Amino acid sequence: MEKHNFNAGPAILPRIAIENTAKAILDFNGLGMSILEISHRTKDFEAVLDEAVALFTELYNIPAGYKVLFLGGGASTQFAMVPFNLMEKKAAYLETGVWAKKAIKEAKLFGEVQVLGSSADKNFTYIPKGYTIPKDVDYFHITTNNTIYGTEIHTDYDCPVNLVADMSSDFLSRPVDVSKYALIYGGAQKNIGPAGVTVVIVREDILGKVTRILPTMLDYRTHIKEGSMFNTPPVLPIFTVKETLKWLKGIGGVKKIQEMNIAKAALLYNEIDRNKMFVGTAEKDSRSLMNICFVMNEQYAEKGDAFMEFAKGKGMVGLKGHRLVGGFRASTYNALPIESVQALVNCMQEFEKMN
């Protein structure tokens, strides 16, 4: 049976990126060796890394003065590396979910954290607004897409201080005005590749301002200087990211993928709002285009398990909501075809008729 992959992360990737990765594992560039068996300091791999950086730069239209880094350690390492490199005394954070809370916890190790807004009062179902960003903080940190709760910041904020964004789960899902950010980071495994590589886009002039001593590996300047090759980078994940970005460019880039993501999300949200059995959990103006969260309507609460079983029987995978939200979460990342969303909508309609 055909599978419809709604996994939240690691998640669906373009088929062509997986096929090309499989080929490179068997014989890379006709070298008679696997990409797994060669030095990262060969011309063949350096070309892969260069192309990945070039594609990122082109797709996001990244201005001069920024560097694109491919690092290990996941977005979770960035929770600490950001304050370590950028926070002298104080930083501001927006508390929009579990990942934001984890980032705040790490920042508190290095200085004072001001939480400017929080949606904890309503289980993170909305993006806080109406706060003022103080001018005396070293940076303001936001999580653009809240993977667990299905909320998203859809615009690029004007910010009087350095703006830092965790874009792990909406990386390259829409055009971004990179010039409005000082630093953007994200683990690849939600929207742009497999687990194992973290992408950091950093404006170089924000670095070197803190007085603390930075260990070599945890200093962004090391990785800028060495072109992400200070130590052995995650070779295979970088290759797959490069293939995924090639696919994205091929279908028309971030403007086109944004249109496709809007169409997919509209299809599913419209059904959630129409179907009497289901209800969306995020507030409408905060709804994510990447992670669509919904639960059974109250009077059908006991039908949740039955719907999950029914959907599984139709090939739906990864629909279980995060344990902190319950219900269902359909992750509709870049590589998910609209046909899969339509299959889920059909499922919901059939289930409604049966009940």
Examine the residue annotation and report whether 99 is marked as an active-site residue of this protein.
Answer: yes
Helices (H), the chain: 15-26, 43-60, 74-86, 98-107, 220-225, 235-251, 253-274, 304-313, 338-354
Number of residues that bind ligand PLP (CB under 6 A): 12
Which lies closer to ligand PLP via its Cβ, residue 20 or residue 198?
198
CA distances from 145 to 3, 79, 97, 173, 262 (A): 25, 15, 9, 11, 15
Bridge-partner residues for 330, per DSSP? 292
Which sign does the torsion angle of CA 102, 61, 10, 146 carry?
positive
Q: Which of 29, 57, 76, 342 binds ligand PLP (CB under 6 A)?
A: 76
Q: Report the DSSP beta bridge partners of residue 113.
A: 91
Shortest distance in whole angstroms from residue 277 CB to ligand PLP: 28
* Residue with token string 């949740």: 304
Q: Is residue 166 annotated as a catalytic residue, yes or no? A: yes
Per annotation, catalytic residue among 67, 138, 170, 190: 190
Subset of 35-74 contacting ligand PLP (CB under 6 A): 74
Stretch that binds ligand PLP, among 24-32, 63-71, 165-173, 266-274 (CB under 6 A): 165-173
75 near ligand PLP (CB under 6 A): yes
Q: How far apart are CA 228 and CA 108, in angstroms?
A: 28
- What is the amino acid identity at position 291? N
Q: Identify the residue among 168, 258, 261, 334 touching ligand PLP (CB under 6 A).
A: 168
- Residues numbered 132 to 161 that lie near ligand PLP (CB under 6 A) are 143, 147
Does 187 sit near ligand PLP (CB under 6 A)? yes
Q: Could you say which of 99, 170, 219, 264 is catalytic?
A: 99
Active site residue 89: no
Q: How far apart are CA 307 and CA 160, in angstroms?
A: 47
**Closest CB to ligand PLP among residues 288, 340:** 288
User: To 10 degrees, what angle do helices 235-251 and 15-26 make?
Assistant: 140
Catalytic residue set: 99, 166, 190
**Binding-site ranges for ligand PLP (CB under 6 A):** 9, 74-76, 99, 143, 147, 166, 168-169, 187, 190
